[in-house]
Structure formats: structure tokens, C-alpha cells
Amino acid sequence: MKAKVMLGLFMTAAVSMPAWAADWTVGANVGNVPWEFQDAKGEFVGFEVDVVKEVAKRAGKSVEFVNIPFNGLFSAVQSKRVEIAISSITITPKRLESVAFAQPYFDSDQSLTSLTTSKVKSLTDMNGKVVGVDTGSTGDMWIGQHKDEYKFADVSRYEGLSPAMLDLASGRIDGYLSDIPAVLYYIKDKPQFNIVARIPTGERYSLMHAKGWAMSDQVNGIISKMKEDGTLGKIHKQWFGTDADKESSTMKVTPVLK
């Protein structure tokens, strides 16, 4: 087992931590492609996995990744069972009431995906239809705010993109509402799916941690350096195949939102 990083440990929030203890335990909703997922060897990989590993390396810390359902990440951080949580977590005023974030490092919007053979070609076509969403996500919040406007027949909730897309493919739901970068990555070689609406929400992702965490200032400083020396831009290009916008949170040092 490597001294600095132990990958491939697949756990749930209910499982106790092993005797070997890393400096930082990082909670992640594994299966959240391309942010954090398992490769063919069972190792944890992804955009945010690479970001955390680089931050930890520069801080001289070892990390251990544990799999926690998205909704459980917030209590895991608050109870300090994990030092950091990742899973394309959007910074929101409501979340800032109980947890804290480093400066944002990725900009995003929501999207609606349907089958290319479906009659659903826009949000208005979801009238009387079943929409899928990730439990507790900002997409879930958006649906709660707009369900009367778009008159969804029902809402099916999932713990990650993959099971939702399987249900969309089989016709158990009519549309899937989720973060657009993750969906674009997932469907790039799957022509049976089509993003039919980009929903502007102006979301920004970052590492989540407990309020008052002693490492917060150092971690934020490291992220600033990773933006300035081009490391974050390189990680972005590796995972998305394109250069990040120079004005985006991936490239520009921005204040910590409080």
C-alpha cells in the first residue's frame, strides 16, 4: 500500500474507517463521471480526484477516498468524519450556512437530457412526463422550484448519473436533469442520448469542508497557485479535451464564498 495515496477503497458512509489512517479522508459520490469514478482497475479517477491529489501533494498530506452517497456528504463533513468532500458540489448560500468551501474551480449549468427518439425536445415537452434527478442535488432543488411551471407528472431520484441514464434508456423516465459537464462527458460516445435544454444556473463547484477547518487557508492558497501555474488548466484539458475559458473559475483566482 502506497504511503501517500490509497485508491480503490470502496466504502459507504455506514462502514467504519480502517486501522490505516490517512491525513485527509475525502468523501466522494463515486460513479460521478468524470469527476470521481472507478476505472477498469477499480482505482478512483476523475477531474476532482486529480485536483485533490495535487492539493494533498503540495500540502504534504496523504489522502484516502471513501464512497458516500451525495446526500450523506454534508453530514460527513459537518461531523468531521471526512476532511473534504467532492462530487461536483455547487456552492450555494443555503449550504454555506452549515459548511464551507474553498474558492470555486469549475463553472456549470444544469441540463435536460432525453432519448434522440423521444418527443421530448425541450423543457416544455416534459408536461405530464417523469423527470429524473440526483437526490439532494442543485438539479433536485431546481425541480422543486419549477415543478408547477413545467408540470412534471413525477420525479424519480437517483444516487448518481449512471443509474438515471440507464432508466432513461429503458424508458422508465422521460428526461434527466443534471449538471451539463457530466452529461456531455457521458453521452459523447452514446448517440441515443441528446441534451435538449441547457438551463442557466451559474453554478460553481469546489472542495467542501467543515467550517473552521484549520487547513482551509492553506488549501485555498494551493488552489490559487494551481490556477496561476496552469495545473488546473491541464487537469481540465485532460478530462474534457478542451482548454478552460480564461475567464472561468478554473483559470482565475477568485475569492472564497462565505
CATH, domain range 109-203: 3.40.190.10
Cα separations (Å) of 167 from 33, 124, 175, 250? Answer: 17, 21, 10, 32
- Intrachain domains 24-105+206-240 and 109-203 with the same fold: yes
Instruction: Kindly state the cell numbers that stand for 81.
Output: 468524519
Domain 24-105+206-240 has CATH 3.10.20.740: no
| Domain residue limits, the chain | 24-105+206-240, 109-203
Cα separations (Å) of 163 from 44, 47, 100, 176, 193? Answer: 19, 20, 29, 11, 14
State how far the Cα of 230 lies from the Cα of 3, in Å rounded to an integer: 27
- The pLDDT tens digits along the chain (258 residues) read 333 344 433 343 333 444 457 999 999 999 888 999 999 999 999 999 999 999 999 999 999 999 999 999 999 999 999 999 999 999 999 999 999 999 999 999 999 999 999 999 999 999 999 999 999 999 999 999 999 999 999 999 999 899 999 999 999 999 999 999 999 999 989 999 999 999 999 999 999 999 999 999 999 999 999 999 999 999 999 998 889 999 999 999 999 988
| Residues near 146 by beta carbon (within 8 Å), at least 6 away in sequence | none
Q: pTM (2 decimals)?
A: 0.82
Ramachandran region, residue 89 (left: φ > 0; alpha: ψ -120 to 50; beta: rest): beta
